[in-house]
C-alpha cells in the first residue's frame, strides 16, 4: 500500500487525478481518497493537523512492512528554484530542535535537500534550505507506525519565502509536473520491497543462512534486509564477500552483536 499525505487539496488534486483516486467516507473530518493500492489524506496546514492525519489514516489500516507513506507538498526556499522537487534527507523541527533522518535506500530521480519545519510563516532570509509547516510532525508521527525507510517527504518549491500570493492552480501545476518522477520512485520502492521480484533464490539462501548463523533479532533482520537491498541497488552486491558471515556460528549475544555490526558497516561502506 502507498499512503499519501498532503496538507492542501490543491497539493493533492493532481495526485488524485493521476492515480484515479476516489473520495471515500471517513469517520474523521479529514478528506480521504483511495484507488488501486493507494490511500491519500488531506491534513490541513500545520504540525498538529499533520500528526492527527497520520494517526487517523494509519490506525484505520493494517499496514505492511512493504508499505510506504509519502508527504507531498509545497515548500519555501531562499536559494532553490521555483518548481524544483526535492527528496528530503534531513528534517529539523525549528520549535523543538529535534532532527530526523529519513532512511534513503532506494535510488530516486530527485535532488536531495534539508527541510526546516516552522509553526509560523517564514520571512525571507530565515531559511537554511527548504521550509514548510508539516514535515517534522508528519515524520515523527509516522515513526509511531512505520520504520524510517517507509517514510518519505517530497517537497516542491512554490515560493522564495517572500510572502507573495500563490494560486491554487499554480500549486496543482508544479506538483503535477513532478508526478512522473514520484511514480518512478514508488515503483522502484515497491519492486525492492517485493521479495519475489527483487530477491533471487540465492539472495534468499544467503539471507536465511546469515539470519540463522548470527541469530538475528527482528530489528536486526530488518536492518540487514535494508542494507542488503541498498547493496544491490548500488550495484556493489557482486563485489561483496559474505563468506565470513556464512561460515560463522555465534553462541552468545555479544558475539552476535559484534559480527552483525561488522557486517552492516561493511555492507554500507561497499
Q: Could you read off the pLDDT of 173-218 as tens digits, one per residue?
A: 999 999 999 999 998 888 777 654 567 788 889 989 999 999 988 7
CA-to-CA distance for 11 and 153, rounded, in angstroms? 13
Name residues whose C-beta falls within 8 Å of residue 40's C-beta, 6 or more positions apart in sequence.
Answer: 3, 4, 5, 6, 12, 15, 16, 21, 32, 33, 34
Report pLDDT for 165. Answer: 73
Three cell numbers, residue 268: 554500507
Give whole-number Cα distances, 68 to 74, 75, 143, in Å: 20, 21, 12
- What phi and psi values does residue 32 have, to the nearest 5 degrees? -130, 145
* Average of per-residue pLDDT across 214-236: 81
Residue of higher predicted confidence among 229 and 167: 167
User: Average model confidence (pLDDT) for the chain?
Assistant: 89
pTM of the model: 0.75
Report pLDDT for 192. Answer: 74
Amino acid at each position: 500500500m502507498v499512503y499519501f499525505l498532503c496538507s492542501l487539496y490543491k497539493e493533492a488534486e493532481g495526485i488524485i487525478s493521476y492515480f484515479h483516486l476516489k473520495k471515500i467516507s471517513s469517520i474523521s473530518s479529514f478528506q480521504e481518497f483511495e484507488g488501486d493500492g493507494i490511500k491519500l489524506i488531506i491534513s490541513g496546514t500545520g504540525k498538529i493537523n499533520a500528526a492527527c492525519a497520520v494517526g487517523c489514516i494509519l490506525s484505520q489500516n493494517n499496514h505492511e512492512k512493504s508499505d510506504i507513506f509519502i508527504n507531498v507538498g509545497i515548500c519555501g526556499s531562499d536559494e532553490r528554484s521555483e518548481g524544483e522537487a526535492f527528496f528530503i534527507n534531513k528534517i529539523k523541527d525549528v520549535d523543538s530542535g529535534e532532527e530526523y533522518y529519513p532512511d534513503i535506500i532506494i535510488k530516486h530521480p530527485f535532488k536531495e535537500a534539508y527541510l526546516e519545519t516552522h509553526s509560523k510563516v517564514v520571512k525571507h532570509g530565515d531559511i537554511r534550505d527548504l521550509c514548510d509547516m508539516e514535515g517534522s510532525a508528519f515524520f515523527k508521527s509516522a515513526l509511531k507506525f512505520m520504520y524510517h525507510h517507509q517514510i518519505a517527504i517530497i517537497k516542491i518549491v512554490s515560493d522564495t519565502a517572500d510572502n507573495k500570493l500563490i494560486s491554487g492552480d499554480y500549486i496543482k501545476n508544479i506538483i503535477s509536473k513532478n508526478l512522473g518522477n514520484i511514480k518512478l520512485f514508488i515503483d522502484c520502492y515497491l519492486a525492492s520491497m517485493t521479495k519475489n521480484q527483487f530477491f533471487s533464490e540465492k539472495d534468499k539462501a544467503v539471507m536465511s543462512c546469515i539470519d540463522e548463523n548470527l541469530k538475528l533479532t527482528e530489528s536486526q533482520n530488518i536492518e540487514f534486509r535494508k542494507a542488503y537491498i541498498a547493496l544491490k541497488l548500488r550495484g556493489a552486491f557482486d563485489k561483496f564477500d559474505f563468506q565470513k558471515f556464512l561460515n560463522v556460528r555465534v553462541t552468545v549475544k555479544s558475539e552476535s552483536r559484534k559480527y552483525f555490526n561488522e557486517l552492516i558497516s561493511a555492507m554500507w561502506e561497499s
